[in-house]
Amino acid sequence: MKIYYSPSHEYIKVDGNIGYIGISDYAQHALGNVVYVDMPEVGDDIEAGEDFGAIESVKAASDLIAPVSGAVVEINEHLIDNPRLVNENAMENWIIKIEMTDPSQLEELLDEEAYKELCEKEKH
């Protein structure tokens, strides 16, 4: 699956029209121990650039911004009881699965390399 990133540190793994959205490893590291993931409901529409939920650690909280538009087809229910899975493996533990309505929006996102560069910059 091809992976794209947003400047606000969400990733989307793409499988045809389906996308798996989560937060990057860099983002989980910056947040620290995740204690809660606020997720939308299945069936909700999400819009590129708007928040679809939030993720909290003990001392920080961050909105989850949709990298592309679509409809939520599944949420990662494991995160309800065990939000720390995001810390354990952010790339495997996606947060929502969506059906994209406009896959062309992917072109606006960053690829692996461009994202790495961004993270390097933010570190300094």
Partner 1 sequence: MNRELYGKLIFELSKPGRRGFHIADNHLPQTNALPSELLRQEPLDLPEVDEPTVVRHYTNMSTNNFGVDTGFYPLGSCTMKYNPKINEEMAAHPAFTHLHPDTPASAVQGALKMYHDLQLALSEIGGMAEFTLNPYAGAHGELTGLMVIRAYHDSRNDSARVKVIVPDSAHGTNPASAAVAGLEIVEVKSRPDGTVDVDDLRPLLDETVAAVMMTNPNTLGIFEKNIPEIARLVHEAGALLYYDGANLNPMLGVARPGDMGFDVMHINLHKTFSTPHGGGGPGAGPVGVRAGLEQFLPSPKVVKNADGTYSLVCDDSSLGHVSAHLGNFGVEMRALAYILSLGKENLSKVGPLATLGANYIKESLKDLYLLPIEGVCKHEFVFDGLIDKSTGVTTLDIAKRLLDYGYHAPTIYFPLLFHESLMIEPTETESVDTLDDFIAVMRKIAEEAASDPEMVKTAPHNTPISRPDDTEAALHPVVKYE
Partner 2 sequence: MSHRYLPHTQADIDRMLERCGVSRLEELYSDVPEQLLFKGEYDVPSEMSERQVREFFDTLGAQNSRLVCFAGNGYYDHDTPAAVSYIVSRSEFLTAYTPYQPEISQGTLHYIFEYQTMMCRLTGMDVSNASMYDGTTATAEAMMMAVAHARKRNRVLVSSTMRKAVLDVVATYARYHGVTVDLIPEKDGVTDREALAAMLDDKNVAGVIVAQRNRYGIIEDYTGYADLCKAAKALFIMNCIASDLAVLKTPAEWGADVAVGDAQSLGIPLSFGGPYLGFMCCRNALIRKLPGRIVGQTVDNDGRRVFVLTLQAREQHIRREKATSNICSNQGLMALFVTVYLSLTGAEGLREINRQGQNGAHYLAEKLQATGKVKLTYPDKPFLNEFCITTETAASEIITRAMERGILAGVALDDHRMTVAVTELQTKEDMDCLTEIVNAL
- Binding stretches for partner 2 (CB under 8 A): 35-36, 38, 56-61, 63
Partners of 19 in beta bridges: 14, 98
What minimum distance in Å lies between the beta carbon of 70 and partner 2?
17
Q: Which does 84 bind (CB under 5 to 8 A by kind): partner 1, partner 2, none?
A: partner 1
What minimum distance in Å lies between the beta carbon of 7 and partner 2?
18
Q: Which does 83 bind (CB under 5 to 8 A by kind): partner 2, partner 1, none?
A: partner 1
Stretch that binds partner 1, among 30-38, 62-70, 90-98, 109-117 (CB under 8 A): 30-38
36 contributes a contact to partner 1 by CB under 8 A = yes
CB 5 within 8 A of CB 23: no
83 contributes a contact to partner 1 by CB under 8 A = yes
Burial of 122 (0-12, 13-18, 19+ CB in 10 A): exposed
Alpha helices in the chain (DSSP H): 25-31, 78-81, 85-88, 112-123
Pairing between strand 61-65 and 34-38? unpaired
